[in-house]
Amino acid sequence: MEDGGRILGSKPVNSFDFEMKTEEPTSAHAPHSGFKGGVKMAQSSNLQASFTLFKTFLGTGILALPFAYKTAGLGLALLIVIIVGILTTHCFFLLLNAAEDKSGTSKVSLQKLALEIIGDKGKHAVQISMMIMQLGCCVGILIFTRSFSNHVLCTFQVEKLCNNTPFSLFISLALTVPLAMINNMHYFYIPSLAANFFIIIGLTAQMYYNSTVLQENPGLKSTFGTHLKEFNFTELPLFFGLATYAFEGVGVLFSIKNTMEKPQDFKPILKTQMVVLTIIYIVFPTVCLVAIGDRLQDIVFFSLPTDDPLYLLIQIMYAMSALFTYPIQLFPALRIIENSKFMRAKLFNERGRTKNKKLRYGLRLAIIGLIFLVAYSANSFHLFLNLMGSCVFTFIGFIMPIWMYHVQFKGRIGLKMRVLNYVILVVTSVFGVVGVIASFKKMLEGGSSEA
pLDDT for the residue numbered 21: 39
Asked whether residue 106 is domain-assigned, the answer is yes
* Angle, CA of 269, 274 and 275, to the nearest 5°: 100
Asked whether residue 283 is domain-assigned, the answer is yes
Please give the average per-residue pLDDT across 166-178, as a whole number: 83
The whole-angstrom separation of Cα 168 and Cα 166 is 6
In the predicted structure, residue 7 carries a pLDDT above the cut 60: no
The whole-angstrom separation of Cα 334 and Cα 337 is 5
For the chain, how many structural domains are there in total? 1
Asked whether residue 115 is domain-assigned, the answer is yes
User: pLDDT digit string (tens) for 356-393?
Assistant: 888 888 888 899 999 999 988 887 888 999 999 999 99
Radius of gyration for the alpha carbons in the chain, expressed in angstroms and rounded: 22
Asked whether residue 63 is domain-assigned, the answer is yes
Share of the chain above pLDDT 70, in %: 87
Residue 16 φ/ψ, nearest 5 degrees? -80, 140
In the predicted structure, residue 60 carries a pLDDT above the cut 80: no
The whole-angstrom separation of Cα 336 and Cα 344 is 10
Asked whether residue 1 is domain-assigned, the answer is no
Mean pLDDT, the chain, whole residue set = 82
DSSP-assigned letters across all residues of 239-301: HHHHHHHHH--GGGHHHHHHTBS-GGGHHHHHHHHHHHHHHHHHHHHHHHHHHHGGG--SSGG
Asked whether residue 2 is domain-assigned, the answer is no
Asked whether residue 78 is domain-assigned, the answer is yes
Please give the average per-residue pLDDT across 151-178, as a whole number: 81
* Highest averaged pLDDT of the listed ranges 6-20, 36-50, 157-171, 399-413: 399-413
User: pLDDT digit string (tens) for 370-380?
Assistant: 999 998 888 78
Average the pLDDT over each of 74-88, 128-142, 401-415 and give the range with the smallest value.
128-142
Residue numbers of the domain that contains 230: 7-444
Closest of 448, 330, 343 to residue 13, by C-alpha: 330
Average the pLDDT over each of 3-17, 32-46, 52-66, 423-437 and give the range with the smallest value.
3-17
More confident residue, 225 or 425: 425
User: pLDDT digit string (tens) for 312-365?
Assistant: 888 887 777 777 777 778 888 888 888 887 787 788 877 777 788 888 888 888
User: pLDDT digit string (tens) for 239-271?
Assistant: 999 999 999 888 788 888 888 888 889 999 999
Please give the average per-residue pLDDT across 423-444, as a whole number: 93
The whole-angstrom separation of Cα 387 and Cα 131 is 15
- Upper half-sphere CA count for residue 128 (Cβ side, 13 Å): 10
CATH code of 42's domain: 1.10.4160
Asked whether residue 449 is domain-assigned, the answer is no
Please give the average per-residue pLDDT across 172-178, as a whole number: 82
DSSP-assigned letters across all residues of 29-88: SSPPSEEETTEEEP-B-HHHHHHHHHHHH-STHHHHHHHHHHHH-HHHHHHHHHHHHHHH
pTM: 0.82
